[in-house]
Amino acid sequence: MTALHPALKNGFTEKFGVQYPIVQTGMGYVSYPKLVAATAEAGGLGILASATMTYDELVNAIATVKKATDKPFAVNLRADAPDAADRIELMGREGIKVASFAQAPKKDLIKRAHDLGMLVVPSIGAKRHAQKVAEWGVDGVIVQGGEGGGHTGSIPTTLLLPQVTDVLKGTDVTVIAAGGFFDGRGLVAALAYGADAIAMGTRFLLTSDSPVAVAVKEVYLKTDVNGTVVSKEVDGVPHRVLATDFVKKLEQRSVVARYPRAIANGLRFQKLSGIPVKDMVREGLAMKKSQGLSWPQVLMAANTPMLLKAAMVDGRPDLGVMASGQVVGVIEDLPSCRELIDRITAQASEILRELEG
């Protein structure tokens, strides 16, 4: 077994209390207890995705992870969720170490998380966002380049990451690189750019510990690097997904047909989740304000939970969308989280020693 290179024990591993500088991102309907616990047990930082959970489901999910591991893990939530403050209080009571946010949380939410002993780590997609959240006192940022899956920007990781590391140089903000990472070479490259760790979504989705149905994983494994598309037809904002026939049909829909379907999907999600309609309306208003969305975009956002659930939970890729990074085209296997993390750290250690001469 390859000895771990000292560079892989760094500020990230010390601050977050994990063995390796590797993060499993919070993917809706994917980053659930089994995957999070497996990542934690393998030495990485697993992030539990709560945006697709009710409050009570989150209570149960945290308890399930804690039964499976005593290692630190994070919980991801939407900063504009109506019950975001309640979720932060729950996380504090449960001793969660890290609060991860899909968007920048407000200053009062950051302060409360800090008061409860948590580290705060939002995801960002622009240099200016890094500057803003650093001023607000966050502890780290996940910097996702355009190659990444799900909601994403247009700037590739190789250009965005050095911009962010430069602007955050000299601060205490930990930089976690995301978008296009899948092996030890990428980890070394991220460290060279000045990042402290890497975060991976699609690579962890395609593990044996992922709860996604085997049939859906097979669709991913058959996809090449040109097999994703950034579409606004899923929820009104840029969303990188697999370019399936279903997504192509979404792209071809008329405006007249688009919004009634989104409303219908929103009502289906409301029935499934039990969230009161007034709370969904309140959440829509919060999204409109925090993300600068138009009302048509807010209506389209009602699509997302049900379209993701159709593929990721129900195992019907023909009826749903599959968020994916472009990295899907270079992934060929389904290792366990432990096998994956061991492989990445061993390869990174070998490369670092070769570079030392």
Structure tokens at 28: 């809706």
* Average pLDDT over every residue of 170-196: 98
Residue 13 near residue 21, CB atoms below 8 Å: yes
Q: Which residues of 175-190 are buried (b: 16+ CB within 10 A; e: fewer)?
A: bbbbbbbbbbebbbbb
Residue 6 near residue 346, CB atoms below 8 Å: no
- CA-CA distance, 283 to 354, in Å (whole number)? 51
User: Does residue 311 carry a pLDDT above 70?
Assistant: yes
* Average pLDDT over every residue of 26-30: 95
Closest CA to 97 of 165, 150, 206, 23: 23
Q: How confident is the model at residue 272 (pLDDT cuts 50, 70, 90)?
A: very low
Structure tokens at 67: 């039964």
* Average pLDDT over every residue of 115-141: 96
DSSP 137: T
- If one compares 39 and 237, the residue with the highest pLDDT of the two is 39
* Average pLDDT over every residue of 266-280: 51
- Looking at every residue in the chain, the average pLDDT score rounds to 89
> Residues near 251 by Cβ (< 8 Å), separated by ≥ 6?
229, 231, 233
User: Does residue 85 carry a pLDDT above 80?
Assistant: yes
Closest CA to 348 of 22, 72, 11: 22
The pLDDT assigned to 302 comes to 57
The pLDDT assigned to 270 comes to 46
SS3 89: helix
* Average pLDDT over every residue of 268-284: 52
User: Does residue 184 carry a pLDDT above 70?
Assistant: yes
Residue with tokens 């989280």: 337
Structure tokens at 89: 């209080």
Structure tokens at 225: 């690097």
